Amino acid sequence: MKMTAVFEKELVNIDGKVFFPYLSNNVIRKRIRELASEIERDYKGKNPVFLVVLKGAIFFASELMQNVSQPIFVEILKAESYGNRLESSGKVNLFLTNRNFGGKDIVVVEDIIDTGLTIKTIMDELAKFEPSSVELAVLLLKKEKLKFNLSIKYCGFEIPDKFVIGFGLDFAEYGRNLKDIYILKE
């Protein structure tokens, strides 16, 4: 099935779903700089591993890492739970490129947490490698939808339980490249 996407300045239409501007690029980048400062303070004298959850977190991770002025290591993890849907499928598939996390300080970098299933699955998997520490850095949190007790140390924004696209977030792979974040009109 072919999907259609129309990007205009004030709205985005993806296969009949209309999204309106929600967070501007300037607001997003300012908050990411603040998070980077917190991470630098907390990991002073250490070399944390930034474990970036693909694909959505690449924009957030890139901006975050560019604002951290100390040495860091970067690893990637692919997690799939949405497909072409507006809600998680309830099943998470993980693909780790590296499993050498023992004794290391890890910052898991994620674009969005809604129910928390994906990030809980990631945290459970990482615990098997006995890292020194694991913290979460997330751009967007849907706190009212969260089903798991997660310790989120670095949170960009708490948002309502609405579907969002842009700045790495997508709907069926569309909208990921938008510089701002847009929210679904209901």
Which residues are identified as catalytic? Answer: 114
Q: Which residues of 85-99 are buried (b: 16+ CB within 10 A; e: fewer)?
A: eeebeeebebebeee
Map tokens 């979460």 to a residue.
136
| Rounded (10°) CA dihedral 29, 34, 37, 38 | -130
Q: Cα angle at 128 between 133 and 64, to 5 degrees?
A: 40
CA separation for the pair 36, 137 (Å, rounded): 10
